[in-house]
Every structure is written in C-alpha cells, then in structure tokens.
Amino acid sequence: MSELSRPQPDGRQGTPDDAAAVSALRSAVMRLSRRLKHQRVDESLSPTEMSVLGTLARCGSATPGELARKEHVQPPSMTRIVAMLEAKGLVRLEPHPDDRRQKVVTQTEQAEAMLEESRRKRNAWLAELVSGLDEDEWAKLRAAAPVLEKLAQL
C-alpha cells in the first residue's frame, strides 16, 4: 500500500494534494525554525539548553527525569545539561518535596529575564517578516496559528 493510499486517522484516503501540503508544511516549518534559532539573545547556550529552559518556563519545575522525557533525551544527557545550566546560574536544584533522593530543577530569575528577551527578539523578527504579507495572507496566518500550536502540542 503506498503512502498516499494509506487511510488517514479519520478514515479518509490521502490525496496527492494532502501529501504535497504536508511536505510543504514540513519544509517551511523546518526552514523557519532554523532561521528563528539564529535570533538568540545568548549565543553561549545550545539550542538544547534553550529548549530545556523553555520547557521549565511552560511546565514549571521538574525532575531531571521528567525533563529528559519531555525533551526526548536520555537521563544522563539531561543530568549534564542541568549541570551546565546550574553552573551558568540559569537553574537551581532543590530537594524533591516527596522523595529526598531526587532533585527538582527550577529556572532562576536570570533565566526568566533571558527567555523574555529572547521571545521579544524573536517576536520582533517575526513581526518584521509578516509586515511583508498582504491582508489576505496575514488573515490566513492568524487563522493558522492555533492549528500550528495544536500540532506542536500533539
């Protein structure tokens, strides 16, 4: 059975137009993501370190094991990432309230400020890009934003 004739989750058959749209979406998201990564405030942090800080900002404090699962990395790798972030003053390790064998990772005010500046810089960059869209394109982008957010959460 070819990829295009495989039933979709809702039972529909995939069409060549569906496949082309998925391919175009993948390509555009990847290119835009690469360009956004260059809009960093602190070049000393790796994209993975920034991702961990973003996860802590969105989800709150977590154990290194929970962070490893959320970031799709092995626990020993997360332990090293957390140690680097702690050395830079961006996270602190605190005793777990229920299990003293574990630690909880919490971002610091310094990390919050850096993330806010990073968001501001990336939003300004994106705002400059979208200023080149016409009204119809801008309306479509506003309508697509919640759908893209949903895809990012799946």
pTM over 0.95: no
Q: Which residues of 13-39 are buried (b: 16+ CB within 10 A; e: fewer)?
A: eeeeeeeeeeeeeeeeeeeeeeeeeee
- pLDDT, tens digit (0-9, with 9 covering 90-100), for 85-141: 999 999 999 998 888 888 999 999 999 999 999 889 999 999 999 999 999 999 999
Give dist(CA 49, CA 51) in Å, integer: 5
Sign of CA dihedral 107, 34, 81, 76: positive
